[in-house]
Chains A and B, each alone.
Chain A
Amino acid sequence: MYVAVKGGEAAIANAHRLLARTRRGDVDVPELAVAQIREQMALLVDRVMTEGSLHDPDLAALALKQSRGDLIEAVFLVRAYRTTLPRFGASEPVETGAMTLHRRISATYKDLPGGQVLGPTFDYTHRLIDFALAAEGEAPVAAESEPLPDAAHAPRVTDLLGNDGLIEPSAPDDGTPPGDLTREPLDFPADRALRLQALARGDEGFVLALGYSTQRGYGRTHPFVGEIRVGSVAVEFVPEELGFPVPLGEVALTECQMVNQFHGSAEVPPQFTRGYGLAFGQSERKAMAMALVDRALRAEELGEPVGAPAQDQEFVLAHCDALQATGFVEHLKLPHYVDFQAELELVRRLRAEHAARRAAPETEMKEAAE
């Protein structure tokens, strides 16, 4: 005998207890410390901070622990926490030209002021599983490093190009505060600052695939990596009562300046154009993909034909957020039986009518023959 379903509350509570137990895994294996995640899963922490739009390595590491390593779930935890934080102001723009560099490479110049600094990179590693890592051992010793270039002696590649007028200048700061899509509803067309914010928060996989699509001809942008720099910058804030900037601390950033070919138009002489990417920590793939998509989204502004997905800001901005995407895809798990019932009724009726129509001509033909 059927009784109306009851007991959802107890079932949910039990499922959550089971989740907590499953999260811990085998209790004979030592528990992960948040500091271990922060230090040894640093790139994952960087990604959670970037897509979570919140610079807090400890919180990101804790979110990863709580989410059992589910990246989007960790981003979700960070974002839901971020949204409750009071806003007491905006920092001064960070000066990436004055970055304390850990890594800095350019693909457009063999050598340049400040030099090429490989820093800690997977590039040129042979991707062979290092079985020695399975045995816990002593900490590896870092290579002797040359003194890192002083920021003052490692100018941005785009600034070097700009000195010759070969690249479009960055739009001058007209003092308009940039929009914030976490505080205002997104309205189309969105300006570049908003688009960059959306891309920075956007899912790395999605932005990567879109950037990749531009390389394969869906909105080609002829990109060169002008420069990727990874390092820390000072964050400064001007408290109203003081009226001058005070340092709040440092954040680690990855910046990618993509330099793109441009043949010029009636108004603008031929020159290189810019695509820009910025992410927390060391997130080169994200910064590069973001720079590609940023440039692709400027097609209309630069008078280029628009047609590829990566050039379509409604398509890109409406779908790049992993939280929105995962929420709506996964909501299909929720009960839909009321709507399904409505569809069942329609399909049954259409099938009955279909069967009746198929039966009808036969009768007619029989009648004609008789």
Chain B
Amino acid sequence: MSAASPETGYNFAYLDEGTKRMIRRAILKAIAIPGYQVPFASREMPMPYGWGTGGVQVTAAILGRADVLKVIDQGSDDTTNAVSIRAFFARTADVAVTTRTREATVIQTRHRIPEAPLHEGQVLVYQVPIPEPLRFLEPRETETRQLHALAEYGLMHVKLYEDIARHGHIATTYAYPVEVAGRYVMDPSPTPKFDNPKMDDSPALQLFGAGREKRIYAVPPYTRVRSLDFEDHPFRVQRFDRPCALCGAEGVYLDEVLLDDAGERMFVCSDTDHCEERRAEGHVGEEAAHA
């Protein structure tokens, strides 16, 4: 039993250097083959599988002492799991942490891409629950790997087509499949499809870590990321028919917040940093006006 406290008893950013090297190799391979899922020897982390262990391992493997880390969950820096992961790295790596998208060099995220455009040199690390975009069409890993190898994506197109035939729309609202660099079909993680266009041609490096499923994949900077669609049913993102009630932002993703049990609700920015920044700049939404 180790008597050392977690702060002193572990290596920088928790993982031992051998493990980091193994993860970095997987990351390099992933960058070399955009959208391809690279198996890696995912470790057992001190937080549960399904709670971001893949993203945490990727972040731990790339983090340097000079990095500035931001962690968001559902677009917010203050959701409990984001707080917990940020605290983990503040404790084990003692790196600077921030909530400002612009200032961060590494941003770990669950379910959102920040509204502020990312810039060169930034790395966006996604937490991924099920990395296989074909998993719910074909449960066997041996089969899906073969389908990717053959670029046989007919199943996915049939699924999307059947949505249109049944509902008149493609009924996938998040984890909407994309094609990366004209080759691999990739799961963007359960981000709303609203965020898909931000992945395309992004100056930032995008890394995806799935701990339980032991896969890492990547979208290098300035890579074409196309959401799957049909000529007569082009890809469309969600639109909100009102601006953020706090900062008045339009064209951003909003959370619906219930205010009482009489159906009273308001819509506010899901990206809390974006919202705060706008309010600091003097933008005012209709609810904030009479607060």
Q: How many residues of A contact B (CB 8 A)?
A: 54
> Which A residues are CB-close (under 8 A) to B8?
none
Query: In the complex, which of the residues B74, B167, B254, B276 has the most CB atoms of chain A within 10 Å of its own CB atom?
Result: B74
**Nearest neighbor of A11 in chain B, beta-carbon distance:** B80
Q: How far is the CA of A346 from the CA of B239 in the complex (A)?
A: 11
- The main secondary structure of chain A at its interface with chain B is helix
Q: Are B193 and A342 in contact (CB under 8 A)?
A: yes
> Which B residues are CB-close (under 8 A) to A338?
74-75, 111-112, 174, 191-192, 253, 255, 270
Known: A185-B42, A345-B238. A59 touches B1 (CB 8 A): yes
Known: A314-B142, A344-B256. A4 touches B268 (CB 8 A): yes
**Interface: B200 (CB within 8 A):** no
**Interface: A242 (CB within 8 A):** no
Number of cross-chain contacts by CB at 8 Å: 153
Give the distance to chain A from B113, nearest Cβ to Cβ, in Å.
11
**Interface: B154 (CB within 8 A):** no
Q: How many residues of B contact A (CB 8 A)?
A: 69
What are the interface flags for A1-36 relative to B under an 8 Å C-beta threshold, 1 for contact and 0 otherwise?
Answer: 110111111011000000000000000000000000
Q: How far is the CA of A187 from the CA of B1 in the complex (A)?
A: 33
What are the interface flags for A66-81 relative to B under an 8 Å C-beta threshold, 1 for contact and 0 otherwise?
Answer: 0000000000100111
Contact of A339 (CB < 8 Å), options: B48, B141, B174: B174
> Which A residues are CB-close (under 8 A) to B161?
none
**Nearest neighbor of A312 in chain B, beta-carbon distance:** B140
Q: Are B39 and A346 in contact (CB under 8 A)?
A: no
**Interface: A62 (CB within 8 A):** yes
**Interface: B45 (CB within 8 A):** yes
Q: Are B46 and A9 in contact (CB under 8 A)?
A: no
Among B81-89, B115-123, B218-226, the stretch in contact with A = B81-89
Q: Which 6 A-B pairs have the closest CB atoms?
A: A327-B49, A331-B50, A342-B173, A327-B48, A185-B39, A328-B50
- B residues near A (Cβ < 8 Å) are 1-2, 10, 16, 39-46, 48-51, 53, 73-76, 78-84, 87, 110-112, 129, 139-142, 167-169, 171, 173-175, 190-194, 212, 214-215, 238, 245-246, 253-257, 259, 266, 268, 270, 272, 275-276, 287, 291
